[in-house]
Amino acid sequence: MSTDVPKAMNSPQEAAATDIKTHSETPIRKPSWVLISGLILLAISLAVLAYTYYQSKIKPLSGYGDDMAAIDEINSHDPRALSGGDLTHFMFGDISFETEAANLPWQLSKLFDDGDGVFERPFSEALESGFRSDADGLGPLFNQESCEGCHIADGRAAPPMEPGQPLEGLLFRVSIPGTDPHGGPKPHPVYGGQLADKSIPGHLPEVSVKIDHRDVVGYYADGTQYTLKAPVYSFPDQNYGPLGEDAMTSPRIAPFMIGMGLIDAITEASMLEYADPDDNNGDGISGKANRVWSIEFKKYMLGKYGWKAETPTLNHQGMDAAVNDMGVTNPLFPMENCTAHQAECKAARSGITDAPTELTVAQMDMVTTYLEFLAVPGRDYLDHPEVQRGEQLFNEIGCESCHRSTFVTGTEQRQKRLHNQTIHPYSDFLLHDMGPGLADHRPSFDADGYEWRTPPLWGIGMIEQVNGHTRLLHDGRARNLEEAILWHGGEAEAVKQRFKELAASDRESIIKFLKSL
């Protein structure tokens, strides 16, 4: 007879050992080919995504595309010829002022082309409600219907050559004594800040313009006579009431557009290095900065653009022109350029439908990008003996005191391509007293009625090829480079006298040097 003895329970240690043994005998599964393939595809996808992001978002920030050979070709030229750094070009002729900077990434190149389209496209009067155009909302009061209408081929306008010829790029600022809340010109109560000589159908333009001339006779030291033509402006038709005896008007001609982005990239500190408002160094030159109100940043900034350095940024300059020259509202200037006394203007149909302004934020960015990357024509004839002689004389008689040859751009501008460029604009971008002969007697912020901003000279020799004329100065009164020099006065009076004392051949050498720029 057998007796069943109950089997003893395993101890905890034995149970654990058994569990380990059981698991150790379980076969280990290897990753399947499906999983491996999926991980490989994921890695490839992430790499493609990262590359695409780099190419589309990161690389364009440098401002350079894939054709670095184009940059090497530019840099192979004599550094003196690189007026705009590597935003210089050597395609001379009628495209000298409308050439895109070399080797932009495709994203910036597309924005440049889009901006060119907005710049060239004529605006029409506002369409009926429910319709939208990329270019409607002109006026009702305006000076020109497109940017290109004043800046033909991105170049320089000329005043009317014959009586009765319409104004194409010459306009008139207007104000009355006093200042606006920010210290700028006080707008005329009826005509605002700028006189419109054109209007859309159903509206009267603000004024008509008549230009007469008087002769200003002078003599070189060798006895040779010259005759300048001083313009005398009047406004026969004042369709919204008399301007009044206290109205101050200032003629302004449209300049060429090259190098605008590079100017924007010059730092305030660099420009102020040349400022000497009290003439502490005793050289007779007292360059002064114009501190102006920024609509964009709501603070006072250094004025860089305009004939009196009245606007501080490229965005501001372009949008100021849009509203005042064309009557096109935009993100910086959302109100029509109509005064309270112009009821029909204020009641006119607007070009706004699906955007808050007639020029959209996107279009504003396109135009600004376009202006940022308009390349500067390079110098030519560097080794020509007369050009070299002219450059020497240009410096010796004191022209370089205001027309500074070289700047290095800073690193604050939004486009990295514009950073750290060594450029040769031949300007200090400061205000100078140019004497009574050029005075408009209309102050603007810190600029008085005798002061004008030094215009850059780069590309000045190409105006005749691009625009078919050689008219210069703020209203185009000078018929050529020689007359532009002879109109100088005020701080530049001594320099002009030195020019007049030169032999005719030396004067011609200076002109040839200027044409080489």
Task: Quick: pLDDT tens for 145-169.
Answer: 999 999 999 999 999 988 888 999 9
Give me the pLDDT at residue 116, please.
97
Residue 7 banded pLDDT, cuts 50, 70, 90: very low
Residue carrying structure tokens 């701080």: 491
User: Whole-angstrom Cα distance, residue 469 to residue 478?
Assistant: 11
Task: Quick: pLDDT tens for 90-124.
Answer: 999 999 999 999 999 999 999 999 999 999 999 99
Task: Quick: pLDDT tens for 276-294.
Answer: 999 999 999 999 999 999 9
Report whether 307 contacts 156 (CB < 8 A): no
Convert 448-483 to b/e letters by CB count within 10 Å (16 or more is b).
bebbbbbbbbbbbbbbebbbebbbbbbbbbbbebbb
Centroid of chain to Cα 269: 19
Closest CA to 187 of 249, 264, 279, 128: 249
Q: How many residues does the chain have?
A: 517
Residue 252 DSSP SS3: strand
Task: Quick: pLDDT tens for 177-234.
Answer: 999 999 999 999 999 999 999 999 999 999 999 999 999 999 999 999 999 999 999 9
* Residue 320: half-sphere exposure toward Cβ, Cα within 13 Å: 17
Q: What percent of the chain has pLDDT over 90?
A: 83
Average pLDDT of the chain is: 92
Task: Quick: pLDDT tens for 31-70.
Answer: 688 778 877 888 887 777 767 666 666 666 689 999 999 9
- Both tokens assigned to 414: 């939004």
Query: What single-letter amino acid sits at 258?
Result: I
Distance, first Cα to last Cα, the chain = 127
Q: How far is the CA of 475 from the CAs of 264, 317, 357, 376, 472, in angstroms?
A: 24, 18, 31, 23, 7
In a 10 Å sphere around its CB, with 0-12 CB exposed, 13-18 middle and 19+ buried, how is residue 411 labelled?
exposed
Q: What mean pLDDT is predicted for residues 426-447?
A: 98
User: Whole-angstrom Cα distance, residue 123 to residue 111?
Assistant: 19
Centroid of chain to Cα 277: 26
User: Whole-angstrom Cα distance, residue 217 to residue 502?
Assistant: 18
Give the largest Cα separation in the chain, rounded.
156
Task: Quick: pLDDT tens for 476-513.
Answer: 999 999 999 999 999 999 999 999 999 999 999 999 99
Backbone phi, psi, residue 225, to 5°? -90, 145
Question: Is 1 or 301 the better-scoring residue by pLDDT?
Answer: 301
Centroid of chain to Cα 333: 17
Give me the pLDDT at residue 58, please.
64
Give me the pLDDT at residue 9, please.
44
Centroid of chain to Cα 486: 28
Report the DSSP beta bridge partners of residue 432: 452
Q: Does residue 2 register a pLDDT over 60? A: no
Report whether 506 contacts 389 (CB < 8 A): yes
Report whether 262 contacts 425 (CB < 8 A): yes
Q: Does residue 12 register a pLDDT over 80? A: no
Residue 25: CB partners within 8 Å, gap ≥ 6? none
Give me the pLDDT at residue 354, please.
67
Report whether 174 contacts 247 (CB < 8 A): yes
Closest CA to 255 of 429, 383, 83: 429
- Both tokens assigned to 253: 């001609």
